[in-house]
Chain A
């Protein structure tokens, strides 16, 4: 982990996926510190929401990536967003999207860097047949 890379987003979702995605970003880019993983394992609705609020406050970030659009982490993030002006929630997170995000200039407005990440994530999905 590069100690000079500051946290910029939370990656929230099911099971070991958030930690796995952040681990993969670190392995490939060395910028895993830019992402804080948060798993919903064992947590109820209120605890997921309060856990997200705590992490956002602790790290001073304004972006949450989540996995399933209809998942508990997304619902919790959207509830936090409801009373947190400026918070951006990106659903359907992937490794491709996160890698683009961590390479964006940290000074770039979050709306712009997340929009780029969404496009990269979409573009990385392909079905290959021989």
Chain B
């Protein structure tokens, strides 16, 4: 089954991911793509404890995920690919052996060098450019924190629609 959602969320696994998206999508697994978490057994154990028994969490570095994405996409269960940064998702979009058709910007929170674009999205100039680069690769980039919220196009996101 194709990956149901590619999401950028700097909180990684949390309530919106596990419950907000997990339940309506009936997620069977999450592939958490993060170079630091992929190297930390302790962090992995922490995230495993945060999901229900019916859901598996797999961990991969960005380069591992790019190489092995076809294996996850052929899983019979519904899956989500999750990165904590725009940069990691762009790297995945550029190097994955399967094309990524759409990316959901789900939550990138305040930091000193970021500008607020929406209630739940703050971006640096570099992150804005990375999202544009993703779109140039043919990826449909939208912003939406939870399934019941409206989805905003990349243009709306970069203009700052503040919802």
Contact = CB atoms under 8 A, between A and B. Distances in A.
A45 B84 contact: yes
B94 to A, nearest CB: 24
Contact of B10 (A45, A74, A75): A45
**Would you call the interface of chain B mostly helix, strand, loop, or mixed?**
loop
B11 A44 contact: yes
Contacts of A33: none
A42 B14 contact: no
Nearest to A81: B46
Given A45-B84, A78-B46, A79-B46, A71 B110 contact: no
Interface residues of B, number: 23
Interface stretch (B47-55, B58-66, B95-103, B147-155): B47-55
A48 B107 CA distance: 14
B108 A75 contact: no
Interface of A: 14, 42-45, 47-48, 68-72, 74-75, 78-79, 82
